[in-house]
A and B are shown apart, each in its own frame.
Chain A
Amino acid sequence: MHRILAGKARIWIALLASLTLVLAACGGDGEGPAEDTTTAPTDESETTSDVGREPVTVGMITTLSGNAAYLGEDTQKGFELALEMAGAAEDINLLVDDDAQDPEQGQTVADRMIEREGAQIMTGIVFSNVAASVVPTIVERDMLYISSNAGPSVFAGEQCDENYFVASWQNDNPAEAVGQWVKDQGYETVVGAAPNYQAGLDSVNGFRRTFGELQNEFYTELGATDFAQTIAQIREESPDAVYFFYPGGMGIAFVQQYVEAGLAEEIPVFGPTFSFDETLVDAIGEPAVGLQNGSFWAPDLDNPTNVAFVEAYRETYGMTPTNYAAQGYDTARLILSALEAVDWNVEDTAALREAVRAADFESVRGDFSFAPNQHPIQDWYILEVVEGEEEGDFTNRILEKVLDDHVDAFVDECPLSDE
């Protein structure tokens, strides 16, 4: 008898424990970001809004879970900071939700935001595979999508759309900047290393576009972080330099193991900024110092807008902004400038489109304008990882500008260019 009771009690404990965990997990996932977004503190006196104006609803689908969660979190932080600094936090009703890096989930969120929650402008997607699936369904509703990160090549060329704007960069651009730099530095033989998926292949292609042919290319399984085999092959090839594209956790592992294998002193590595954002270089630590990477922006880029942004970001969030935060910030400012221009009337999509195309805002990048395919025309820089002001803090500093007013390679294939 005693035993049976004990057994039953244990079943209940198990059930309760699992229920608590499941509930907690659901809570952590969905609700948080979706709810607390419009509550950015605003001082009545700072607000520029006219009394009684209807707020415009902006839907932000982004990645807030998994190992790339900080990409979406930073985008959101930058976006909210821009609204707050412009005193527009009450004029924009910002909906935020997680796509979990999953195209299907992104689709569900987009439908819900547009059909049920009244989103009028969409933005935020981090990953190109999610964007490729979700963006077409947004723009065909005659609604604007303004990308704060992903810029897949398909939407820059033949499939460009008048309702689709990219406020960040076209995916190939960072690699093109690095390719130009490595060529200018006089390196002759280079091998490429990247994860074996579309963005990895695109990145190596972008590098090839400005640098020329590669000596060899190595592709690893997406997400794998043990690079011993790739490193052994790089040693065998012994090129002048290595180009690599390993975003997120893969980048930390690659650099650490490359240094450990004793190759760092012999063969320098180069990559796009996604392998060197402020979160990643802090995790890599000392071995990252001196590594050079290509970017459209850096925390020390010297223009008044950027200085104000970096300072406010550090004050608000207690850390140096990543490029994702800068992109979120610029996207919000672009949207605000367009809304101001049309006097906050979003009913007339054509007028709003024209206003966005004008790009009449102060970017943290300095010069910014749209090419005919509605992707940015902007400068590209080579950054170098340096030690920050505090112990154990690492950051990127501008070394040199490599590409001036750079336009992506697909602009001529876009039908909008003929108009």
Chain B
Amino acid sequence: MELFFEQTLNGLQAGFTLLMISSGLTLIFGMMGVLNLAHGSLFMIGAFVGADVLARTGSFEIALLAGVIGATIAGILMETVMIRWLYHRDHLDQVLATFGLVLMANQGVQMLWGSQPRTISRPGWLEGALPVLPGLQYPIYRIAIMVGGLLTMVILWLLIERTRVGMWIKAGQTHRELLGALGVNVTILFTGVFAIGAALAGFAGVVAAPYLTVESGMGDNFLILSFVVIVIGGIGSLKGAVAGSLVIGLVGAWGQTYLPRLLTNFTDPSAAAAIGSSVASASIYLVMAAVLIFRPEGLFGGARG
């Protein structure tokens, strides 16, 4: 029971980290129709800038701010220099071009910061663990990630649902030309949405870094998971991103724990551990396949949220 509770917390925490990346990706994809493979690179750039600034200043808070700003600048550059020219091209062109960006970003950070893995350590006031159940200490920092992820999502939701800019963003997803005709500068609006997505990715990059190694290519795995989230949740839907991220986080955490145990009934423990781990890694893709079969538009696709 304790184990189940701890794994549920772990799953939620993993889900919230993923949510910060996938929410930006789904906004951009939903609004501009661009498959941006380089979104994971923005996550990586945020982490690298954060690690660099942390090493110089020793302050996690400044590093977090710098990571967000760094990723935002990189995102704006990416949009104005390259992505902007791809809005009217087909998805294959977009994939090829943004894949090129991924390769450049991976090499670029190596040229700038070298190939040694770097780390970001937690701020002192978030170190240690809290007793969440008798006999179960849970790291404060992981709780902070969940709180941070939740707050960011509330802010993002308020921005989209309660402000004029949010109205434009929603309108831009479905009635782009009309929006332009009404006098809204769609070009700037798109750059702005891209910048919001990049900022979220950069934020996630620094916040998640204490549990990761800051290294070239660190965003690639998160990018793949983010696409799975979007497929499960429905393209362009913020609600979908929330649901998809939490589903993936929880399925991953529970699968890693209980699938190997289930398999010990059929084979020897050593093989069960290895096979169970592989099956658990694959289980999120099984969930995605199931969603595609029974609800191809995603859990919250169609009706935008």
Instruction: Tell me which of B68-76, B163-171, B270-278 binds A.
Output: B270-278
| Complex contact A232–B3 (CB within 8 A) | yes
Binary flags per residue of B110-128, CB closer than 8 Å to A gives 1, else 0:
1100011111011000010
A261-B137 in contact (CB<8A): yes
Task: Name B's interface SS.
Answer: helix
Which residues from A are CB-within-8-Å of B108? 21, 25
In the assembled complex, which residues on chain A have CB atoms less than 8 Å from the CB atom of B281?
196, 221
Does A228 sit at the interface, judged by CB under 8 A? yes
A22 at the interface (CB under 8 A from B): yes
Q: Are A223 and B119 in contact (CB under 8 A)?
A: no
Partner of A233, one of B80, B85, B121, B257: B257
Per-residue 0/1 for A7-31: is the Cβ within 8 Å of any B Cβ (1 yes, 0 no)? 0001101100110011011001100
Cβ of A283 within 8 Å of any chain B Cβ, yes or no, is yes
Decide if B23 is an interface residue (CB 8 Å cutoff). Answer: no
Query: Which residues of chain A come closer than 8 Å to B122, judged between CB atoms?
Result: 260
Contact with B along A55-96 (1 / 0, CB 8 A): 000000000111101100100000000000000000000000
On whether A260 and B141 interact (CB within 8 A), knowing A67-B215, A229-B10, A229-B253, the answer reads yes
Q: With A21-B104, A70-B116, A248-B117 given, is the CB distance from A262 to B137 under 8 Å?
A: yes
Binary contact readout B70-89 vs A (1 if CB under 8 angstroms, 0 otherwise): 00000000001110010000
Q: Does B180 contact A (CB under 8 A)?
A: no
Per the bound structure, the CA–CA distance linking A24 and B212 in Å amounts to 27
Is there contact, CB below 8 Å, between B213 and A67?
Answer: yes
Name the A residues within 8 Å of B211 (CB-CB): 225-226, 228, 253, 257
Question: Is there a chain A Cβ closer than 8 Å to B221's Cβ?
Answer: yes
Contact of A65 with B3 at beta-carbon distance under 8 Å, contacts A219-B277, A252-B213, A261-B139 already known: no
Question: Is B139 within 8 A of A260, CB to CB?
Answer: yes
- Residue A120 interfacial (CB < 8 Å): no
Chain A, range 208-264, C-beta contacts under 8 Å to B: 214, 216-221, 223-226, 228-230, 232-233, 235-236, 248-250, 252-253, 256-257, 260-262
* With A14-B82, A261-B129 as contacts: A228 and B13 at CB distance below 8 Å: yes
A256 to B270, CA, bound (A): 26
Q: Which of B107, B217, B277 contacts A28 (CB 8 A)?
A: B107
CB of B26 closer than 8 Å to a CB of A: no
List B contacts of A10 (CB < 8 A): 80-81
A228-B76 Cα distance, complex, nearest whole Å: 34
Establish whether residues B85 and A66, one from each chain, have CB atoms under 8 Å apart when the complex forms. Answer: no
Contact partners of B3 in chain A: CB under 8 A? 232-233, 235-236
Task: Indicate whether B14 reaches chain A with its CB closer than 8 angstroms.
Answer: yes
Q: Mark B216-258, 1 if CB is under 8 A from A, else 0.
A: 1100010000000000000000000000000000001100110
Q: Which B residues from 1 to 28 make CB contacts under 8 A with A?
A: 2-3, 6-7, 10, 13-14
Q: Find chain B residues with CB under 8 A from A34 CB.
A: none
Given A66-B216, A67-B217, A221-B281, residue A229 in contact with residue B256 (CB < 8 A):
yes
Whether A25 contacts B103 in the complex (CB less than 8 A), given A67-B217, A257-B211, A260-B129, comes out as yes
Contact call A67/B257, Cβ cutoff below 8 A: no
Q: Indicate whether A201 reaches chain B with its CB closer than 8 angstroms.
A: yes
Most buried by B among A29, A67, A216, A256: A67
Contact string against B for A residues 256-287, beta-carbon threshold 8 Å, 1 for contact and 0 otherwise: 11001110000000000000000100010100
Q: Give the total number of A-B pairs whose CB atoms are below 8 A apart.
A: 131
A65 and B81 contact, Cβ closer than 8 Å, known pairs A18-B104, A236-B3: no
Q: Which of the residues A11, A65, A204 comes within 8 Å of B115, measured between beta carbons?
A: A65
**Given A67-B117, A225-B212, A252-B119, A14 and B107 touching (CB < 8 A)?**
no
Assembly CA distance A125 to B94 (angstroms): 37
Contacts of B213 in A (CB 8 A): 67, 225, 248-250, 252-253
Complex Cα spacing A73 to B121, Å: 26
Complex: chain B residue closest to A22, CB-CB:
B104
Give CA–CA (A10, B187) in the complex, Å: 15
Contact A24 B111 (CB under 8 A): yes
Complex CA gap A252/B81 in Å reads 37
Q: Is B81 a contact of A232 with CB atoms below 8 Å?
A: no
CA distance A225 to B221 in the complex (A): 11
- Quick check: is B302 within 8 A (CB to CB) of the other chain? no
With a cutoff of 8 Å between Cβ atoms, the chain B residues found around residue A225 in the complex are: 211-213
Q: Is B100 an interface residue (CB 8 A)?
A: yes
Q: With an 8 A cutoff between CB atoms, is B296 at the interface?
A: no
- Measured CB to CB, the closest approach of chain A to B24, in angstroms, equals 20
User: Which residues from A are CB-within-8-Å of B139?
Assistant: 257, 260-261
Whether, in the assembled complex, B58 has its beta carbon less than 8 Å from a beta carbon of chain A, the answer is no
Closest 3 CB pairs of A and B: A249-B213, A69-B115, A25-B107
Contacts A/B (CB < 8 Å), 10 sampled: A28-B110, A66-B217, A220-B256, A225-B211, A226-B14, A233-B3, A233-B257, A260-B129, A261-B139, A262-B129
